[in-house]
Amino acid sequence: MASDGAGTTTYTPPKTSFDVKVAGSSVTINTRYLSAAAGQMTLTLAATPAPGSAVTVSYTAPANGHRDVAGNLAANLTNAAATESAGGGTPTTTVTITSVIDDVGAVTGPITSGGAIDDTLPVLTFTLSAALAAAEQLVVYRGGVEEGAATGSGTTYTYTPPVALADGAYSYTARVEAGSLNGTMSDAFAFTVMATPPNDPTVTPLFTTSKTPTISGTWTNVAGHTLEVIAAGTTYGVGAQLTVIGGAWTLTPNIPLPRGAHNIIARVTNQAGVPSFNSDTEPNLYITNTSAMRFLLRWKKAT
């Protein structure tokens, strides 16, 4: 029990002193707050009344109920009409994070939870089960920590992180909040930012007389990364011709290569579609009908 400084004792009666009915049926009271200065009692209900529902409050003063300085108890009430505050109490609108949109790089568009992006400022999209009330907002959390509020209208909202995301794994959730009252937290939406290109692969220089030579090189074999090798305009993915063992790869083209100098290109792409830089910009395969050494000597003389 305490005084509000205006001569009124601010004792908040127990919830059992109240009976709130919506359309004639009693509902559970979650919290109550007494503003003696304003002469108001605010009750928060477990369920939001449907629009247009009749809400009544009955109050039976306990022995040590709300009194004024003269010792008078606050008057009892029986089915008095109540006023619903903006927001309707604890938010009941639910939230679904529908996608994360990547609009950077060669691979763009929405991803599903668990995907990878190279966009460090992606757009998160949300779908609400109902439009927000005047006092409600959609609050966004990253890793369980509040980061900001989404914007939108109706049941569609969007959000962009305030600071660019570094490479790494992230998990976002969101919920509708009305002051100190919180709705249900959404399911998490997880994604990984992979804006940094993979390590460059290598191609081992080769001198040969074979038109279907076994070409080799190295790469950083990371789960989810893909390797491709380009020989004379044909791109080979890992399979029958291009094989990998750990960090080593070998390619035996199934299309004969013409004699001469070739620039064999190896390239690695991560899950977000970010490619490595090309392995080589100079010829690294020489096919001749003489020995490799004689060809090399003649090639050096010619250059």
pLDDT at position 30 is 80
> pLDDT tens digits, residue range 212-252?
999 999 999 999 999 999 999 999 999 989 999 999 999 99
pLDDT category at 286 given cuts 50, 70, 90 is very high
In 10 A of CB 253, how many CB atoms? 20
pLDDT at position 3 is 33
DSSP string covering the chain: --B-SSSBB-PPPPGGGEEEEETTEEE-EEEEEEETTTTEEEEEESSPPPTT--EEEEE---TT--BBTT-PBPPPEEEEE--PPTT-SS----EEEEEEEE-SSSS-EEE-TTEEE--SS-EEEEEESSPPPTT-EEEEEETTEEEEE-EEETTEEEE--SSPPPSEEEEEEEEEEETTEE-PPPPPEEEEE--SPPPPPEE--EEES-SS--EEEE----TT-EEEEEETTEEEEBTTTEEEETTEEEE--SSPPPSEEE--EEEEE-TTSPBPPPS-SS--EEE-SS-HHHHHHHHHHH-
At residue 253, does pLDDT exceed 80? yes
Matching fold, domains 95-193 and 202-302: yes
- Return the domain boundaries, the chain: 15-81, 95-193, 202-302
> pLDDT tens digits, residue range 16-47?
888 888 888 888 888 776 655 556 677 778 87
d(CA 240, CA 254) in angstroms, rounded, equals: 9
Nearest to 100 by CA among 175, 195, 172, 187: 172
Mean pLDDT of 147-169: 95
At residue 73, does pLDDT exceed 60? yes
d(CA 241, CA 300) in angstroms, rounded, equals: 31
Name the pTM for this structure.
0.62
Give the max Cα distance, the chain. 117
At residue 87, does pLDDT exceed 70? no
CATH dotted code for 95-193: 2.60.40.10
Mean pLDDT of 110-137: 94
pLDDT at position 139 is 95
Nearest to 262 by CA among 228, 242, 288, 244: 288
At residue 291, does pLDDT exceed 70? no
Mean predicted lDDT score pLDDT of the chain: 84
Architecture per CATH, domain 202-302, reads as Sandwich (2.60)
pLDDT at position 179 is 81
pLDDT at position 193 is 97
